[in-house]
Structure formats: structure tokens, C-alpha cells
Amino acid sequence: MQITFSRWWTSVCDMANPLRGEVFRLYKNLLYLGREYPKGAAYFRERLKSAFMKNKDVKDPEKIKALVAKGDFVIKELQALYYLRKYRAMKKRYYESEE
């Protein structure tokens, strides 16, 4: 079995900071969810990048875990926002206004 440099480097980075993969997963998920953000994907991407850059120097594993948990909460809130927006659009199409 031959180990490529990229696979070796990934394993070395994971050993150096095991939470790196979780942070990367969180960033990718938020970036994906930001495509449908009401103010636009570019606005969301800028805010996301600035939030992650603000915390780039955090080294404490407990603090990183807390920040990842906060990010997971934001993911759930965004999913609820999108679900509610779709529900309101469907309701507007099929029901008369109640004015």
C-alpha cells in the first residue's frame, strides 16, 4: 500500500489538531446553507469568513468545541428559517389572505 503525500499530510494535520476536521465540516455546511440566504450568498459568505477569521487564533480545545456547538446551532436556525420561508410561500399560494 502506497501512501501519497496528500494523505500523509492530512493525517499529520489531523494529529496536530483533531478538531480541525469538525471546524472544516462546519464551514462547508454553513457555506452550503448560505446559498439561499435572503440577503444573498455573497453577503453570507463575507460574514461567514469574517466570523471564522475572528476566531482563527483560538487554540483551547474546549473553546473550539463551544464555538463548533454555536455553529451547529446557527445551522439549525438557518434550516428553520428556510423551512419557514418555504411554508409561507406555499401558504400564500394555496390560501386566501386573511385581511
Q: Using one digit for the tens of pLDDT, what is the confidence trace for 1-55?
A: 566 656 655 654 555 577 888 999 999 999 999 998 889 999 999 999 999 999 9
- CA distances (Å), 76 to each of 8, 25, 30, 71, 91, in order? 34, 15, 10, 9, 22
pLDDT reported for residue 9: 53
pLDDT tens column, 52-89: 999 988 888 999 999 999 999 999 999 998 898 888 88
pTM to 2 decimal places: 0.72
Question: Helix crossing, 41-54 with 20-33: angle to 10°?
Answer: 160
pLDDT reported for residue 85: 86
pLDDT reported for residue 72: 95
pLDDT reported for residue 65: 92
